Amino acid sequence: MSLLCPIDFRYGRPIMKDLFGEEARLQRLLDVEAALARAHAKAGNIPKTAAVAIGGKANTKSVKVDRVKAIEKETRHDIMAVVLALSEACDKEAAKYVHLGATSNDISDTATALQLRDAIRVLDEGVRELRDIFINLAKKHKRTVMLGRTHGQAAAPITFGLKLAVFATETDRHRERLSEAAKRVVVGKMSGAVGTGAALGERALEIQRLVMVDLGVGVEEASSQIVGRDRYAEFVAVLANLAASLEKFCTEVRNLQRNEIGEAAEAFETGQVGSSTLAQKENPVTSENVCSLARVVRGFVVPAYENVPLWHERDLTNSASERIVLPHAAVLVDDMLAKTADVFRDLRVYPDRMRTNLDALKGQAMAESVMIALVGKGMGRQDAHKLVQAAARVAREKGVHLREVLAADKAVMKSLSAKEIEAALDPENYIGASVEIVEGVAKRFA
């Protein structure tokens, strides 16, 4: 059978894809069934020997994916197929107690909690790694002066290290969001068809608690038939936010790699081809790939939120989209994290080109510095702004360095000496607290 979804053959790392594969999903469903049996035994509802027997068969060696699929073809019910396959694998006495008192979503939602818990752990490691790459680059380039740009136009000098410190702190905020969301996202339930726990008997709440403690996930304190889908919507929204930041970081690389800027670039390996016809091309293809996938991940936000308002205690309109949204969002964001890490770990940085681009502006990027220097000599801020703005315009129109126009202005020369003008026009003297900021960020995450 030919593969259709690009995730099957093009995108995603095995470590994350394996968490959402058929066998991994089945194993987590079986883990929940085994935990339910153990909880019943502790509550005195079933023999301990039965719980041990069920737990011994609750694995994909005893309950095969193919057998579950065959049963589902008959029953047209995925969880009932798992229940029947597990019951087949158990001896007759133990089989009587499989799935006792549970509804399908007790099993499936709790299994999803296990998957999301493991997915968040993998994502957290990826985010931490990327943050540390940014910090290492920031420390290396804390004094590497470059042009800061706003509105796509020349603004004032910054350091490349400061840019990366900004990225590092933003990345770490995503670690915080993942951690904070986990306690709300990694939640299971064991409360039956409408949330009352009636089929579990008088000790229903204890059974639910025992199951979740056994599995190491949180408890849905009050549920309908399902765990609240606001939880899954939050998870997808957190991933979409992370994806947006990854696109931001990679968009910066794409812009800095433009020929007319040329200040940084993705690594380009020997034998790599940029274009099938334009032999000179070295395209930022990995960064572009991240940006492309970010658009897909953000697209998952809408169905995730539309799955929240289900009818009464539940309907099935969430089911199909969740099977697509949750694993795809996790797999793609993990893939994007790894690719972004690769981009910045091997980034080519060109400090000389950064300085060349600054110098090519003939002092225009230092207009604020001159204005502040004039204010420091007693000129009013608004007057200084107006004076420097006019001087910068004249310099641009004549194609000369701002220094020439300033030196010919009596009001400027009355306040500043030629040496002071020169100092104000030196980008190295106007990076503010950039170095201290980078060092502070690095120290925080040391």
Predicted pLDDT of residue 36: 98
Q: What would the pLDDT profile of 92-129 be if each residue is shown by its tens digit?
A: 999 999 999 999 999 999 999 999 999 999 999 999 99
Residue labelled with tokens 């399908």: 104
Chain centroid offset of residue 269 CA? 27
Q: Which residues, in sequence order, are CB contacts of 152 under 8 Å at separation 6+?
A: none
If one compares 4 and 61, the residue with the highest pLDDT of the two is: 61
| Residue 376 in tokens | 């420091």
Taken as a whole, the chain contains a residue count of 446
Q: What would the pLDDT profile of 176-214 be if each residue is shown by its tens digit?
A: 999 999 999 999 999 999 999 999 999 999 999 999 999
For residue 59, the 8-state DSSP code is S
Q: Quick check: 109 and 226 in contact, CB under 8 A?
A: yes
Q: Quick check: 145 and 157 in contact, CB under 8 A?
A: yes
Predicted pLDDT of residue 96: 96
What integer is the mean pLDDT of 7-15? 92
Q: Quick check: 235 and 326 in contact, CB under 8 A?
A: yes
User: The pTM is what?
Assistant: 0.95
Name residue 264's beta-bridge partners: 349
Q: Which residues, in sequence order, are CB contacts of 294 under 8 Å at separation 6+?
A: 243, 244, 246, 247, 336
Does the pLDDT of residue 1 top 80, yes or no? no
Residue 142 — pLDDT band, cuts 50, 70, 90?
Answer: very high
Predicted pLDDT of residue 174: 98
Does the pLDDT of residue 379 top 90, yes or no? yes
Residue 363 — pLDDT band, cuts 50, 70, 90?
Answer: very high
Residue 275 — pLDDT band, cuts 50, 70, 90?
Answer: confident
Residue 231 — pLDDT band, cuts 50, 70, 90?
Answer: very high
What integer is the mean pLDDT of 62-89? 97
Predicted pLDDT of residue 274: 85
Beta-sheet pairing, 218-219 with 187-188: parallel
Does the pLDDT of residue 312 top 90, yes or no? yes
Chain centroid offset of residue 172 CA? 10
Domains delineated in the chain:
16-95 (1.10.275.10), 104-269+280-350 (1.20.200.10), 356-444 (1.10.40.30)
Predicted pLDDT of residue 427: 97
Q: Which of 40, 99, 141, 151 is catalytic?
A: 151
| CA distances, 355 to each of 62, 157, 160, 259, 358 (Å) | 66, 10, 11, 15, 5
| Residue 444 in tokens | 């925080």
Helix residue ranges, H only, 141-199: 160-185
Concatenated DSSP letters of 387-445: HHHHHHHHHHHHT--HHHHHHT-HHHHHH--HHHHHHHT-GGG--TTHHHHHHHHHHHT
Smallest Cα–Cα separation from 145: which of 444, 373, 445, 438?
438
Q: Which of 77, 179, 275, 417 is catalytic?
A: 275
When the pLDDT of each residue in the chain is averaged and rounded to a whole number, the result is 96
- Give the span between the Cα atoms of 357 and 346, in whole angstroms: 23
Predicted pLDDT of residue 8: 86
Residue labelled with tokens 């016809």: 277
Q: Quick check: 92 and 27 in contact, CB under 8 A?
A: no
Predicted pLDDT of residue 271: 84
183: helix, coil or strand?
Answer: helix
Would you call 141 a catalytic residue per the annotation?
Answer: no
Q: What would the pLDDT profile of 232-253 be if each residue is shown by its tens digit?
A: 999 999 999 999 999 999 999 9
If one compares 9 and 161, the residue with the highest pLDDT of the two is: 161
Residue 193 has phi, psi (to 5 degrees) of -70, -30
Would you call 77 a catalytic residue per the annotation?
Answer: no
Q: What would the pLDDT profile of 21-37 be if each residue is shown by its tens digit?
A: 999 999 999 999 999 99
Q: What is the share, in percent, of the chain residues with pLDDT greater than 90?
A: 94
- The backbone region for 233, taken as left when phi is positive above 0, alpha when psi lies in -120 to 50, beta otherwise, is alpha
